[in-house]
Amino acid sequence: MRGQDTPALLETIAAAVQELVNTTQGEIAAVGFGIPSLIDRRSGTSVVAVNLPLTDIRFGALMAERLDLPVFVDNDGNVAALAEHRAGAARGVDHMVLIGLGTGIAGGLILNGELYRGWIGSGAELGHMVIDINGPPCQGNCPNHGCFEAMASGTALAREAQLFASVQPESALGHALRDGRELDGPLVTELAHDGDSAARDVIQLIGERLGVAIASYVNIFNPEMVVVGGGVMGAGEMLLEPARREVLKRALPPSRDNVSIVAAEFGHEAGMVGAAALALDGLAARQEQL
């Protein structure tokens, strides 16, 4: 969907959902969306998306008009947090931080058993906490420098892989660069699992940066659990172990000693599961108002 303008993107989304509606047996009561955008829940507006052309768009109203169904919209990190809290790694956990490592970094918070959205619904943008004041510019529409997203997302991993491959040309990562292969997360993870030291160094670096960010979340929120998902989590424990070490070095007791840092259970399906939960919650809230 990247590279499309706003009307084309909206049509692509509506067409994909309509196809599912048309091919699903049984009645569709509502549709939930998790989108990578800051949401103003007062108006249902997608205020700005870092990596997509969704600026000042009343996304929910537009989708409801196209689909002729009730539509409920939230940030993609929020719905992923809902999924893991309701049925995934954080079942039964009342204080949880969700981090989704993909093209960008999604974030979600469960505080006192409830999804925390902030005052108008644009809170928990965990990927845009600065972890390096002199770091590179963040991507897309973010005006900041050195954000967690700029330093530890899948995009950052690919950037670091290019650098490591250049300075270690005889590594498997270096050979892949010379062969013209795309040094993305899946390839770097594959090479790391095969034992390539350069690829392992890249994942360790990203894991350490992940740990720097998690240490701050641990200090601020004192969560019982931090759940890490997204495409970069294909690296598994190679990513989480350096993150845990950084948390132990940087976070304050007793919070650091009582937090679990685990992999998400739903992977790429977290958004769909969470969006369904969002739609169910929305319908239930409407019934209560009647």
Residues 237 and 123 in one domain: yes
- What pTM, to 2 d.p., does this model score? 0.92
Please, what is the average pLDDT of the chain? Answer: 94
All residue ranges of the chain with pLDDT < 50 are: none
pLDDT at residue 153, as a whole number: 97
pLDDT at residue 70, as a whole number: 93
Q: Is residue 80 part of a domain?
A: no
pLDDT at residue 5, as a whole number: 85
Residues 100 and 219 in one domain: yes
CATH number at residue 146: 3.30.420.40
Q: What is the pLDDT of residues 4-36, one digit of tens each?
A: 688 899 999 999 999 988 898 888 999 999 998
pLDDT at residue 268, as a whole number: 83
Q: Is residue 81 part of a domain?
A: no
Residues 238 and 275 in one domain: no
By residue count, the chain amounts to 290
Query: Based on the structure, what is the number of domains in the chain?
Result: 2
Q: Is residue 110 part of a domain?
A: yes
Which domain range does residue 60 map to? 6-75+269-289
Residues 168 and 285 in one domain: no
